Chain A
């Protein structure tokens, strides 16, 4: 498997995500928390998602327009 193979880091991050869900839902009792708490946590994760997706899309589209710095 090479670095460019997505299966490697997809698997690793997938396992980490499962672990995170287990710890948050069961150890942190999120499963038995009220809706507001769940919404707050979801909001935080969405925030992180926006940070990563928008930042990466910025870098991934560098040079597309041919204008310096874009």
Chain B
């Protein structure tokens, strides 16, 4: 799983590099576009994911101790927090639709920027949707994996001597959390001032 996660670093790394290059190229436009994102929702999501990572750790610990009911409980809690994250994401994306911040749409317009910089603003939102979209896809896959684990745990498949799938799924889940830990400041917190 660690080796697979390294390939995931490569997968996301490409987009982080792209983001870095274009943020360097258009710093003011990116700052304006970033401030149109809802940092409160983003921060809530960050907390939710960190909480879900904690419940995942507790699920792995329950696996180590062979406590079937605790495994199920903590996996369900992790699933719940993952679902909350995806729900908040859906709300954020809906907001973007309503504000006409979808890159490529004819009615795209970012307030506070002249017409010749609207294209650069669309670039920011392309990166925003691509990166958070890829991350959300990984979350959905993670939710699927967790559901499978819960089903297996209920059948009594896991014990103190065999809980490897829980352990390995935990690694995947933590990794997706780490990706978001970097996505949040890079996308949401460009040139934010406290109390803005």
Residues from 1 to 28 in B contacting A, C-beta threshold 8 Å: 2-3, 5-6, 9-10, 13-14, 16-17, 20-21, 24-25, 27-28
Using CB atoms, name the residue of chain B closest to A11: B185
Within 8 Å by CB of A55, from B21, B31, B185, B191, lies B21
- Complex contact B181–A3 (CB within 8 A): no
Answer yes or no: A19 CB below 8 A from chain B CBs: yes
Within 8 Å by CB of B57, from A1, A27, A45, A51, lies A27
A12: chain B residues within 8 A (beta carbon): 185-186, 189
Give the secondary structure class of B's interface.
helix
- Complex contact B2–A23 (CB within 8 A): no
- Complex contact B20–A55 (CB within 8 A): yes
Within 8 Å by CB of A28, from B50, B170, B182, B191, lies B170
Question: In the complex, A43→B57 CA distance in Å?
Answer: 25
Per-residue interface assignment for chain B, residues 164 to 185, with 1 indicating a CB less than 8 Å from any chain A CB and 0 otherwise: 0000001100110110011011
Query: Distance in Å from the Cβ of B172 to the closest Cβ of chain A?
Result: 10
- How many chain A residues touch the partner (CB < 8 A)? 31
- Complex contact B13–A51 (CB within 8 A): yes
A20: chain B residues within 8 A (beta carbon): 178, 181-182
Residues from 18 to 66 in A contacting B, C-beta threshold 8 Å: 19-20, 23-24, 26-28, 37, 40-41, 43-45, 47-48, 51-52, 55-56, 59-60
B190: chain A residues within 8 A (beta carbon): 3, 9
* In the A-B complex, the 10 residue pairs with the closest CB atoms: A44-B6, A12-B185, A44-B9, A48-B13, A19-B181, A3-B27, A28-B174, A3-B191, A27-B174, A20-B178
**A interface, CB within 8 angstroms of B:** 1-4, 8-9, 12-13, 15-16, 19-20, 23-24, 26-28, 37, 40-41, 43-45, 47-48, 51-52, 55-56, 59-60
Known pairs A4-B27, A28-B174, A56-B24; list 7 more (Cβ under 8 Å). A12-B185, A13-B186, A20-B181, A24-B178, A27-B174, A44-B6, A47-B9
